[in-house]
Amino acid sequence: MITVNPDLPSATMNQWSLGIDREIWRGSAFEIQYLGSHSYHLDRSYYNNTPLPGPGSVASRRPNQLFGQIRMIQNDEIVNDHGMSVELKQRMTRHIQFMAHYTWSHALDISSDSNNGGAPMNPYLWRADYASGNWDLRHRFVGSFVYDIPFFAGANAALKAVFGNWQMNGIISAQSGMPFNVSYGTDTANTSGGGTNRPKLVGPASSNCGHGHLTGCIASSAFAIPSLYNYGNAGRNLLRGPDLANVDASLFKNIPIKERFRIQFRAEFFNFLNHPSFSNPASTFNTASFGNITSTSTENRDIQFGLRLAF
């Protein structure tokens, strides 16, 4: 059964920003910017016929026993987002141009998809799920460069045809790990509330996941099975997965044919260093796979070659 709250104010976002731009040296540009936002009256599915934790059948303890689960469309959730970015750019000077960009951000929400399986653990206390969002990427750096290789620019025609007009390009990216939820597969509260059940927190939660730590990388001693007829007290998205680092590189050769025509040979290397970046670990507490990483978040090294006619 689905009902709609008759009082549904429109979703609203308040946003503010501050930025500073400055030329550091000739051909350069430096920018630092802060951006913040607060969103409210965001919709969610609120299951208002969920019983309180306790013994006995769920059906016999529902507030309205004439119905089963009742889904109400409600819009009382919030999202807060804060971010700072720092960027340095250099126009093509002495055969090279580059860009370096760093971003710090923090996104806090209740559920990343509250109307499609993202219900809070306790439907009557959604603030217990207020935490870092699923997409809360705290640190990210991206750097890129273009280098017009100047060697053999003044050589004879034969050497220039072979060794001249080469260009080297690269993109370097690195970011911190994404948050993940430690869940527990049993409804110990005995409510059938529809949200993700989380375990009891009995110590400092920590994880060390990534290179050399692919199994058991979550400290399981920090968690315990919740006592019967109680929700767990572990927070949502309590831990973070492995960092990500990647380098893409390319080498171009421009071959002039006529004034308006040229052929470009391209050799492109994706994940140039063949560096594995790992996905988040399995995070269902009290299972055999808890804390194990079984996949990567990036592909292995890919190499491709191509010819391009430009006119």
**Token pair recorded at residue 145:** 């460069």
* Count, residues in the chain: 311
Residue whose structure tokens are 């063949």: 274
pLDDT bracket for residue 186 (50, 70, 90): very high
Bridging pattern class, strands 302-310 and 200-201:
unpaired
Q: Are 132 and 241 in contact (CB under 8 A)?
A: no
- Given this model, what pLDDT does residue 94 score? 86
Retrieve residue 58's tokens.
């769920």
Residues 6+ apart with CB under 8 A from 72: 2, 3, 4, 5, 45, 46, 47, 48
CB of 184 within 8 A of CB of 197? Answer: yes
Angle of CA points 119, 131, 181, to nearest 5°: 65
- Give pLDDT, residue 117: 58
Alpha-carbon distance values, 265 to 20, 43, 172, 307, 311 (Å): 40, 52, 22, 5, 14
The Cα–Cα gap between 284 and 197 comes to 10
Residue type present at position 290: F
pLDDT at 212: 85
Phi-psi region of 242 (alpha: psi -120 to 50; beta: other; left: phi over 0): beta
Give the dihedral sign, CA 292/294/297/303.
positive
How far apart, in whole angstroms, are the C-alpha atoms of residue 58 and residue 44?
23
pLDDT tens-place string over residues 33-90: 999 999 999 988 888 999 999 999 999 999 999 999 898 888 889 999 999 999 999 9
Overall average pLDDT of the 118-133 stretch: 90
Detail the DSSP E strand segments found in the chain: 2-4, 12-22, 28-47, 71-93, 96-109, 131-132, 139-149, 166-175, 179-180, 183-184, 200-201, 223-224, 239-240, 244-258, 261-270, 284-285, 302-310
Q: Specify the residue for token string 């750096």.
A: 141
- pLDDT at 286 exceeding the cut of 70: yes
- Greater confidence (3 vs 144) lies with 144
Residue 267's nearest CA partner among 146, 165, 167, 148 is 167
pLDDT digits (tens, 9 = 90+) for 59-74: 999 999 999 989 888 8
Using one digit for the tens of pLDDT, what is the confidence trace for 218-238? Answer: 999 999 999 999 999 999 999
Q: How far apart are CA 139 and CA 189, in angstroms?
A: 36
Query: What percentage of the chain carries pLDDT values higher than 70?
Result: 96
Q: Is the pLDDT of residue 114 over 70?
A: no
Centre a 10 Å sphere on the Cβ of residue 123 and count the other Cβ atoms it contains: 20
Q: How confident is the model at residue 116 (pLDDT cuts 50, 70, 90)?
A: low
For the residues 141-165, what does the mean pLDDT come to? 81
**Token pair listed for 26:** 């000739």
pTM, entire model: 0.87
Q: Which amino acid is at 126?
A: W
Pick the more confident residue, 4 or 279: 279
Average model confidence (pLDDT) across the chain: 91
